[in-house]
Structure 1
Amino acid sequence: MQSKYFKGYLLRFMGGVLAIWISVIPAKIAIASYQSPTPQAIFVLGGNFQRMEFAAKFWNSHPNLDIWVSDFSWYLDNNRHIFQQFGVPNQRLHLDGRATDTVTNFTTLAADFIQKNLQHIYLITSDYHMARARAIATIVLGSQGIVVTPIAVISHEEKSESLTRVLRDCVRSIIWIFTGRSGASLNPNIN
């Protein structure tokens, strides 16, 4: 009986801690938005060369901003080539190949953004992918005091990603906040 009471108490306590922590995220986002009302960098999610072209063209109207790209490592040379074609100098380009999925696009670069004192970034991804990317960004980057301004690249996908995928990655993002692990190693497609 005592063990059952303790488990119930522990579960309520952990739920309370989670609720308090998650309620801190909107405050951190509000502070970051106030301190940096305009984006300080461009962040592009990889996996699609149309996004790279769009980001390179977008950079031409924001040439004072650095571009951060998170993609699979084997795409980075092609990405660099696309940006060079559009005149983006190498010193403005930060290519990162550590990500294995959308959650790790954010978790692998969060510390780098903090190190560069970035509090507000443009987030560029495909329109069908934006809901999930924004949800993850709100949790992962918001917990670090970074706000995103989304810029959707028009695609020919008919529908947005499923709510199940969005919720799954929100849970993974919350786990990352508390453990520093996103669960990416559980993906059977990763060697």
Structure 2
Amino acid sequence: MKRKLKLVKWVLAIALLLSSIIPVRIAIAFYQTPVPQAIFVLGSASERMKFAAQFWQYHQNLDIWVSDFPWNLENNRRIFLQYGVPNVKLHLDGRATDTVTNFTTLVEYFAHQRLQHIYLITSDYHMRRAQAIATIVLGSQGIAVTPIAVASQNQPSESMIRVLRDCGRSFVWIVTRRSAASFNSRLR
């Protein structure tokens, strides 16, 4: 029992340290790059893809990254092509299995591309959780986010329990570089 308590204390200490560094990194990113450099769309809804394609019409200098399930990628590509987004501007990634992995699978690529500020597009009911995860995962790498919410039809906002759960999972990822789900052999 003492060992578990000690582990919990260490995890909390690390989370506190990280949560104090992340806002500083985000502030620096906003200062250095006040205008977003790319568009990041969370998948699983064609309305998001259509919205992002229309949004791109006013930001044609930006590349678009889409994180979605593998089976949705070709449909997503067709939507973007219908709106005139060239393939060279479109980056589709099918490695994510949930909202946390939408971010963790691409954050290193964003950092490698030296992106410091991106637009985040997702549904309005999903934005609170997505933005919280983005703040932790992307913010830990010095990447700021400007949220753009897609209106949905009478969807209630996701619960605070889901938001807090995924914030915890995001901190676990920062420390271990593993999704919390990967620690549970039944979920693999």
Task: Give TM-score scaled by structure 2 length.
Answer: 0.93
* 1:98-156 alpha-carbon deviations (Å, 9 max, x no partner): 00000000000000101111000000000000000000000000001000000000000
From the superposition, tell whether residues 101 and 21 of structure 1 become closer, same or farther in structure 2 (CA, over 3 Å). Answer: same
One-letter code aligned to 1:51? R
- Identity percentage over the alignment? 64
Q: Whole-Å Cα distance in 2 between the matches of residues 154 and 12 of structure 1?
A: 41
Write out per-residue CA displacement over residues 148-188 of structure 1, whole angstroms, 9 at most, x where no aligned residue.
00000000033100111111100000000000012233496
Q: In the alignment, residue 126 of structure 2 is paired with which amino acid? A: H
Aligned equivalent of 2:25, options 14, 25, 28: 28
Whole-angstrom distance in 2 between the partners of 1:140 and 1:10: 22
- Deviates further, 156-165 or 84-93: 156-165
How many angstroms apart in 2 are the aligned matches of 1:174 and 1:10?
Answer: 14
1:47-88 CA distance string (max 9 Å, x none): 000000000000000000000000000000000000000000
* Structure 1 partner of 2:112: 115
- TM, length-normalised to structure 1: 0.91
Tell me the distance in 1 between the aligned counterparts of 2:81 and 2:9.
Answer: 53
Instruction: Tell me the residue number matched to 1:175.
Output: 172
3-state DSSP of counterpart to 2:118? strand
Aligned length: 187
Task: Tell whether 2:73 aligns with 1:76.
Answer: yes
| Distance in structure 1 (CA, Å) of the matches to 2:4 and 2:166 | 27
- Asked if 1:98 corresponds to 2:95, the answer is yes
Report the 3-state secondary structure (helix = DSSP H, G, I; strand = E; otherwise coil) of the residue aligned with 2:91.
strand
Judge which range, 110-119 or 179-188, deviates more. 179-188
Provide structure 2 residue ranges, at least 5 long, that are not aligned to the other structure.
none
Contact 1:43 1:69 in 2 (8 A): yes
Runs of 4+ in 1 over 6 A off after TM superposition: 6-10
Query: Could you tell me which amino acid in structure 2 is paired with residue 180 of structure 1?
Result: R
Residue 126 of structure 1 corresponds to 123
Provide the residue aligned with 2:132 in structure 1: 135
Deviation at 1:22, TM superposition (A): 1.4
In the aligned structure 1, how far is the partner of 2:116 from the partner of 2:148?
17
Query: How well do the aligned residues superpose, as a CA RMSD in angstroms?
Result: 2.0
Instruction: Note the alpha carbon deviations across 1:24-68, whole angstroms, 9 max, x for none.
Output: 000000000111000000000000000000000000000000000
How much has 1:20 moved relative to structure 2? 1.5
Letter aligned with residue 65 of structure 1: L
Distance 2:7 2:159 in 1: 33
Partner of 2:39: 42
The 3 A distance-change label for structure 1 pair 82 and 10 is closer
Distance in structure 2 (CA, Å) of the matches to 1:24 and 1:60: 35
